[in-house]
């Protein structure tokens, strides 16, 4: 019995859309009847592409779905920016049709499109970012046959670093984290996916100097990726001593130990919140950058930092929270109607971290091109729509106010860095500032003493003297 054809609409009548049309026509497993294209180009509208009419622009999606009983919409505009993709998805979600997307410009241009690439719309598709192009040869040369240590190895960034580094044939991968459960599951994953990979898992606290020294003494890591940190902004506002201990003092100790054991390269994972910080978390990250840059000027080890914004779908991001709230029927809580954030996928962030690592001569802060800032309210509405609900009708959105330490928007560059920054593809390079290493060491030692006696008030005042741009809220 012949299977009934599925009536399909393709959004995008360009090269990618035509490739999708041809792929659908070749499919023997599933029958598709492509009813038409949707394209905003006035010159294409009402024309035909390989015998298939362009029925109108994106504003006609709902009308055409009803008129032609469309069952499936395939979005095939891989070069579109985030706002365009979000608008198209929003219009498609107002219909009853299934929505699919073809991601990845490079795969399409190279002719690699197949039905495997046509899939459901993921949250990261709403960013509208092209597939990042990296110099894999340079990364392989950097990683190949090296002993690599990753702190915070079971976290969102740390675990993705493990996965991607494993492809570049490290001699030995050392995974350090205090989260035993997540590290256990990462261990199982790596063993299954990379049977030839030599790796060692170490359960321990990054603040334990003896553990750090023992790890370097035993394994002699040549490359260090320092991803371990306390990152939750509101929680760190209430735990300033812990934030300094974990983000500043442990970073200092790790930097000194890495130099002592003559590591070749040290990559510190920083944050956009280190720029003009309003939070303890951001200020501690900035001090970490300062320690690293001060040490870089005196060391053979190549010390560098990589700064980027929010990672979509990470454990601490808004996406898992919004999804959970949607599953529970709402409300979805947003801090402020005007709050905006930079986002990128975990995979892209780590690819760029690895690329930046190959560029450093020592002392640089590499700033990843995060693209456009996205309003959190728009992201919330999009995720509600992607889940099959109508915002403000099926799922309510509730504004709860900015939390302690939070800004309305983030920044990627200090003002003093803007004139120095040069763009390398998707990576900005900011050269080292001039720090007095001796003075900074003394200031950090004072922080350590204040942490020891748990004097949060004096601790914050000391941080303000170290980071003059730090402006605590309230």
Residue 371, CB-side half-sphere exposure with 13 Å CA sphere: 21
Secondary structure (3-state) at 201? strand
Question: CA of 199: how far to CAs of 73, 162, 163, 286, 346, in Å?
Answer: 44, 10, 12, 31, 22
| Biggest CA pair distance of the chain | 82
Question: CA of 286: how far to CAs of 46, 200, 275, 279, 302, in Å?
Answer: 56, 31, 7, 11, 18
Helices (H), 11-76: 15-26, 61-68
Q: Is 273 marked active-site? A: yes
Secondary structure (3-state) at 50? coil
User: How far is Cα 379 from Cα 313, in angstroms, rounded to an integer?
Assistant: 12
- Closest among 236, 277, 291, 332 to 436, alpha carbons compared: 291
Phi, psi torsion values for 303, nearest 5 degrees: -95, 130
Handedness of CA 353, 355, 358, 362 (dihedral sign): negative
Where are the extended beta strands (E) located within 152-290?
A: 172-177, 199-203, 223-226, 265-269
Q: Give the list of residues 6+ apart from residue 234 with CB closer than 8 angstroms, or none.
A: 403, 404, 405, 406
Do residues 318 and 376 touch, judged by C-beta distance below 8 A? yes
Catalytic residue among 273, 285, 302, 462: 273
Residues that are catalytic: 273
């Amino acid at each position: 019995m012949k299977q009934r054809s599925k009536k399909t609409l393709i959004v995008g009548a360009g090269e990618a859309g035509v490739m999708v049309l041809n792929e659908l026509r070749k499919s023997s497993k599933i029958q598709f009847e492509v009813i038409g294209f949707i394209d905003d180009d006035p010159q294409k509208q009402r024309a035909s592409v390989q015998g298939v009419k362009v029925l109108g622009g994106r504003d006609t999606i709902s009308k055409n779905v009803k008129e032609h009983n469309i069952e499936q919409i395939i979005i095939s505009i891989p070069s579109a920016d985030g706002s365009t993709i979000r608008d198209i998805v929003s219009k498609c979600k107002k219909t009853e049709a299934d929505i699919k997307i073809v991601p990845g410009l490079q795969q399409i241009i190279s002719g690699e499109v197949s039905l495997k690439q046509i899939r459901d719309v993921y949250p990261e598709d709403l960013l509208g970012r092209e597939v990042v192009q990296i110099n894999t040869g340079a990364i392989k040369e950097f990683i190949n046959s090296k002993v690599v240590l990753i702190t915070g190895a079971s976290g969102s960034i740390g675990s993705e670093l493990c996965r991607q580094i494993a492809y570049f044939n490290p001699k030995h991968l050392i995974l350090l984290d205090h989260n035993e459960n997540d590290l256990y599951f990462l261990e199982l994953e790596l063993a299954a996916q990379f049977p030839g990979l030599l790796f060692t898992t170490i359960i321990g606290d990054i603040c334990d100097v003896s553990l750090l020294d023992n790890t370097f003494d035993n394994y002699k890591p040549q490359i260090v990726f320092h991803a371990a940190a306390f990152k939750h902004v509101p929680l760190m506002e209430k735990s300033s001593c812990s934030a300094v201990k974990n983000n500043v003092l442990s970073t200092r100790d790790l930097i000194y130990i890495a130099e002592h054991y003559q590591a070749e390269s040290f990559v510190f994972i920083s944050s956009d919140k280190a720029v003009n910080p309003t939070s303890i978390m951001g200020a501690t990250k900035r001090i970490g950058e300062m320690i690293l840059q001060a040490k870089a000027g005196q060391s053979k080890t190549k010390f560098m930092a990589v700064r980027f914004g929010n990672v979509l779908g990470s454990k601490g991001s808004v996406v898992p929270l919004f999804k959970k709230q949607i599953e529970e029927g709402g409300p979805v809580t947003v801090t402020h109607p005007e709050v905006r954030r930079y986002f990128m996928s975990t995979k892209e962030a780590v690819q760029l971290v690895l690329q930046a690592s190959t560029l450093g001569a020592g002392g640089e802060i590499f700033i990843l091109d995060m693209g456009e800032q996205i309003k959190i309210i728009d992201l919330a509405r999009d995720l509600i729509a992607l889940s099959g609900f109508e915002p403000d009708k099926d799922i309510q959105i509730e504004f709860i106010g900015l939390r302690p330490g939070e800004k309305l928007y983030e920044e990627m560059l200090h003002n003093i860095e803007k004139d120095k920054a040069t763009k390398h593809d998707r990576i900005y390079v900011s050269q080292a500032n001039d720090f007095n290493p001796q003075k900074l060491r003394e200031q950090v030692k004072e922080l350590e003493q204040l942490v020891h006696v748990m004097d949060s008030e004096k601790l914050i005042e000391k941080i303000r003297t170290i980071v003059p741009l730090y402006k605590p809220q309230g």
